[in-house]
Amino acid sequence: MINTTDKNTTEPKVVWNFSNRNLAEEELRVLEKGMSYNHSCTVNRSKVISNVEYLFHQASKIPKESIDFKKWDEDPDDIANKEIRVLEPKQLSLAADLKSTTEKFFQHAQMSIKMRKDKNLNGNHDDKILLKLSKDLSILITKPDKGRGVVILDRNDYIEKLEKIL
């Protein structure tokens, strides 16, 4: 068992290594950040927009309509034969507010990600270490049943114990 304390905080960061693999100091340093360590990430714009559209439909009580987009593709200028959705002023206002809020969210998220990348120049190196650990098929990295921390187990031992239980 390896118990280490981060110099910047009073909270102990614990790594339990029950595997036969010896961890390098830099691997320990990255694992000490915990299972909730959020290495460099990006915002999935399409997923956020999809969720905001779902919120709009729920909040505005507009029934989701299936629009036949084939009609729009065939003749985009022929509006007479198309399904057109007309929104009430309250719904338009809600849509505009949601769009504005979503754009502000994207701006703040991008600024936050950029600031974090500038602050953490080791991030790319940490990502490589985590990727290397994740590709090691001899170990399994998980969290403890109770509390916070990181547990490293031999994969084969873990599978054998699970098979005995089942």
* pLDDT value at 11 more than 70: no
State the Cα angle at 114 between 108 and 118, rounded to 5°.
Answer: 145
What phi and psi values does residue 19 have, to the nearest 5 degrees?
Answer: -95, 170
Tokens at 41, concatenated: 């990430």
pLDDT of residue 135: 92
The C-alpha atoms of residue 125 and residue 68 are separated, in whole angstroms, by 48
pLDDT of residue 92: 85
pLDDT of residue 151: 92
Shared domain check, 69 and 91: yes
Range with the poorest average pLDDT among 52-56, 81-85, 89-93, 151-155: 81-85
Shared domain check, 101 and 51: yes
pLDDT of residue 82: 60
The C-alpha atoms of residue 91 and residue 106 are separated, in whole angstroms, by 22
Shared domain check, 93 and 51: yes
Question: What mean pLDDT do residues 96-121 have?
Answer: 85
Shared domain check, 108 and 49: yes
Shared domain check, 114 and 72: yes
Shared domain check, 161 and 126: yes
pLDDT tier at 6, thresholds 50, 70, 90: very low
> How many domains would you assign to the chain?
2
Percent of the chain scored above 90 by pLDDT?
A: 28
> Which is nearest to 17 in space by CA: 30, 3, 7, 29?
3
Q: Which domain holds residue 105?
A: 45-119
Greater pLDDT, 74 or 3 = 74
What does the DSSP 8-state code read for residue 152? E
Q: Strand pairing of 150-154 and 2-5?
A: unpaired
